[in-house]
Copies of this chain bind each other. A is one copy, B any other.
Amino acid sequence: MPQKKGTKFIIGVDLGGTNIVVGSLSEDGGTEYAMRSEPTRANEGADAVVDRMVSMIDTVIAETISAGQTRDNCLGVGVGAPGPLDRERGIVITTPNLGWTNFPLRQVIADRVGLQATLDNDANCATLGEWWLGAARGGRNVVGMTIGTGIGGGLILEGRLYHGASDVAGEIGHMTIDVTGRRCGCGNYGCLEAYASGPSIAERAREALGGDQPSMLYEMVGSDLTRLTAAIVYDAAKRGDAVALEVVLETARFLGTGLANILNVYNPDVVVIAGGVTQAGDPLFIPLRREVRRRAFRPAVDACRIVPGSLPGTAGVVGAVATFKQQVLGTV
């Protein structure tokens, strides 16, 4: 397909706990040339992960050229990776599931592919992606929440990604909603993530079954409750299972409590929720919005729309491209 002369393009990389996704977009976001996804293999080691990222980038560049672009038009690579990061130095400080410590990911990628690279937090990228081309378009103060293995978050304040004093900003999943509550993987007690991440939802479903509640969930996992996942719970809830519906309703209450906190403190105009949890649909979103209304100040509730993300699977890549634009070109 022939391109407008002079149209540049940017590569986005989303290094997630489940998938590595790499794609390329025109500078204005109007054209998606290529998008590839491969599962992240836990414990394959830093070198193997980098090799795979580089090979996926090469493939995406080749596909982009097949789509009528030229290599010279490639401005660079935006990378989104799990935190904590030292964004200024382009370093991944630690990623438990990839085994990285103080890994200079930005420089390594730039050297290996011969292009300028930027690095930002994956949850920040997902938020910026939804703001640039997805469900949060037009927002000025935007909170993104990505619910999967963990709960990540990103903040856009007055139209710019906000990183805070040491790149930690947006860790919404580690907001305490119950001061004496459940132990969280982070070591704290009562974090939102300990109630409403995918694994926490599955855990609460196992507890709700309690060994004696009739439920289709048993059948759906062949009576092996260790196979229970949040996705299976949403599916059972849609089919009317009482235990699953109760778990989804409680999830909505916990998430609604966390979001009410965000509304009262940050007063955003958009909250965009992404990740597997959006599959739960109305049985989650309706009580979630009700809980927020019940808990947050009216002017904050009235000013804010709470929406599911509209770029499932690709928000991270789109946002990685957008962070490249914001960091290198100064604007999205």
A residues at B contact (CB < 8 Å): 84, 93, 140-141, 153, 155, 157-158, 162-172, 174-181, 186, 188-189, 253-254, 257, 260-269, 294-297, 299-300, 302-304
Contact B265 A170 (CB under 8 A): yes
Contact A176 B267 (CB under 8 A): no
8 new A-B pairs (CB below 8 Å) besides A164-B300, A165-B269, A265-B265?
A: A141-B164, A157-B158, A157-B162, A164-B268, A166-B302, A174-B264, A177-B178, A179-B257
Known pairs A171-B265, A188-B294; A260 contacts B299 (CB<8 A): no
Residues of B within 8 A of A264 (CB): 168, 171-172, 174-175
Contact B177 A177 (CB under 8 A): yes
For the complex, give the distance between the alpha carbons of A98 and B267 in Å.
25
Contact A172 B267 (CB under 8 A): no
Contact A168 B300 (CB under 8 A): yes
Contact A176 B294 (CB under 8 A): no
Contact A166 B267 (CB under 8 A): yes
Give 16 CB contacts A-B under 8 Å.
Answer: A141-B165, A153-B265, A165-B303, A166-B267, A166-B300, A167-B267, A168-B264, A169-B267, A171-B265, A176-B257, A176-B260, A176-B295, A178-B179, A178-B180, A188-B260, A188-B295
Residue of A141, A254, A261, A296 with most chain B CB atoms under a 10 A cut-off: A261
Residues of B within 8 A of A296 (CB): 174
Residues of B within 8 A of A266 (CB): 155, 164, 169, 265-266
Contact A165 B304 (CB under 8 A): yes
Known pairs A188-B260, A294-B188; A267 contacts B179 (CB<8 A): no
Residues of B within 8 A of A171 (CB): 264-265, 297, 300
Q: In the complex, what residue of chain B is closest to A189 when comparing beta carbons?
A: B295
Residues of B within 8 A of A297 (CB): 84, 168, 171, 174, 186
Q: What distance in Å separates the Cβ of A192 from its nearest Cβ neighbour in chain B? A: 10
| Candidates B179, B299, B300; contact of A177 at CB < 8 Å | B179
Residues of B within 8 A of A170 (CB): 265
For the complex, give the distance between the alpha carbons of A178 and B181 in Å.
8
Residues of B within 8 A of A262 (CB): 265
Residue of A140, A179, A181, A294 with most chain B CB atoms under a 10 A cut-off: A179
Contact A172 B265 (CB under 8 A): yes
Contact A168 B260 (CB under 8 A): no
For the complex, give the distance between the alpha carbons of A164 and B314 in Å.
28
